Amino acid sequence: MTRPSTHIFRLLKWGRTLARHGALRGIERDPNTPAPVRRLARIARLGTIQPKVPDYASAFQEIGPAAIKLGQTLATRPDLVGEEAAHNLLSLQDSLPPVPFSQIEAQIEATFGVPVSALYSHIDPEPVGAASIAQVHKGVTTDGRTVAIKVLRPGIRERFARDIDTYEWAAAHLEEMGGEAQRLRPALTIANFKRWTNRELDLRREAASASELAEAMRGFHDYHIPDIDWDRTNGRVMTIEWIDGVKISNVEALKAAGHDLPDLAKRLVLAFLTQAISAGYFHADMHQGNLFVRPDGSIVAIDFGIMGRIDRRARQWLAEILYGLTTGNYKRVAEIHFEAQYVPSYHSVGEFATALRAVGEPMRGKPVSELSVGQMLDGLFAITRDFDMQTQPHLLLLQKTMVMVEGIATQLHPEINMWDISGPYVKSWIRDELGPEAAIADRIKEDTDTLLRIPALVRRLEEQFPPKGGAPEPPPLPEVELIWDRRRRKREGRGWIGYVLAAAAGAAAMWGGFAAGWLG
């Protein structure tokens, strides 16, 4: 077990890096920051010169691989780190200097137990990408196929395990301080982060994710997932079809190639909606570097280390929420939040609907270039505190991905209207999922507003769908010995030892006296 002093040393070391980039200023100024955390931040920044404008992304980049991944996770949590930090962290680049090719070759040979030449006729020594967890090389298999070879950085699993151990320790202590820190559930955030990163650190899981997504998107036109070479894939190495195409972020190259950019933007949005709402399984790292456009116009996704999954009940609620926001039906959106138990029942549905209206109405009637799903989601986050909404980790990846997709789609086609594209799709999905019952329920809802009072429909919903908003059971949290409990145990331990020693000394004295008398 790692000693508390080791955790504190790591936190202070990381804190000094954050301080040099001005990234502790917000923590110190936030009135919700627990006093012990504020004191630790002040100690960490002693003697540092802080820039006027914080650069959170550079700080996390400097700290190391696990911090880069954590920073990307925190970019989805403006409620936890603040709007300024979350926006800055969106620019965090998952890149590090490459590992020497000799180490990559040794890693391949060690994990397969055969020479590299038995698997590949050629591997380019220069990587095409070097990220925090792995790096990718272009190669040719012994049977002549051009492939991308993804290899874990040597020692990366051990380094992540060490850093996440400290994240868990810090999150457990933060949550025990109560108040806002407890509502935001940092321990659960780190537990989910650990689960996601462990999945990324097993390249067989990533290969399986790619295969599953390809199966789910088989019927979607012009959206491609590269094929996996299972014979050359294991936990530390993944071999996948090489993709020739233009990065979707390179708008000028796409124009030069004659691609229809508005059509690309629309297809990207619909591909995301198909994954998230129809399949309930989506590519959750859909940033610009992971999407390409082939000469035939098809969109190709790569890098399947981070995937999101939403069960059917949560997808139905999500679809209704999106549709309610597009049509201005804030009361229905509010009711869904209560049905899903996202908002505690002691709050008012009407008051929550009014809060939602405050977020949605300022955006209605604006030009399409000013409409933003990302802004809407940020607004929804802003009202969670007033209504005691606990974080829903199973929806965090969805929120992050939706913002990413909107950003790319807007870059391709600045006049795109996400609502115009998502509204008809979501409405159609709701109708298809519930069939004639949906039409009947809609009519009853419109005419009498008593849908949930009809026992038969209530029983049908309860039998067909799981409770709690379709949220998966949270992962088990690690048993972390809190530092104050450790001190108390040590104090009690010393007292117990003292009693034992005193009793032993008394027994020895008694035995000595008895023996002396008996011998005398």
Task: Spot the catalytic one: 165, 285, 303, 378.
Answer: 285
Closest CA to 210 of 225, 221, 224: 225
Closest CA to 18 of 83, 447, 31, 43: 43
Count CB-CB contacts under 10 A for residue 429. Answer: 19
Rounded to whole angstroms, how far apart are CA atoms 140 and 520? 94
Closest CA to 186 of 200, 167, 199: 167
State the virtual CA torsion across 432, 434, 439, 444 in degrees, nearest 10: -160
Rounded to whole angstroms, how far apart are CA atoms 180 and 187? 13
Per-residue CA distances from 180 to 31, 79, 185 (Å): 10, 10, 9
Count Cα atoms within 13 angstroms, Cβ side, for 270: 19
Tokens of 507: 């027994």
Tokens of 189: 């955030």
Rounded to whole angstroms, how far apart are CA atoms 455 and 460? 8
Closest CA to 405 of 271, 510, 208: 271
Would you call 168 helix, strand, or coil by DSSP? Answer: helix
Element (H, E) at 150: strand 146-152
Which pairing describes strands 223-224 and 299-301: parallel, antiparallel, or unpaired?
A: parallel
285 is catalytic: yes
Count Cα atoms within 13 angstroms, Cβ side, for 71: 28
Residues annotated as catalytic (active site), given as ranges: 285
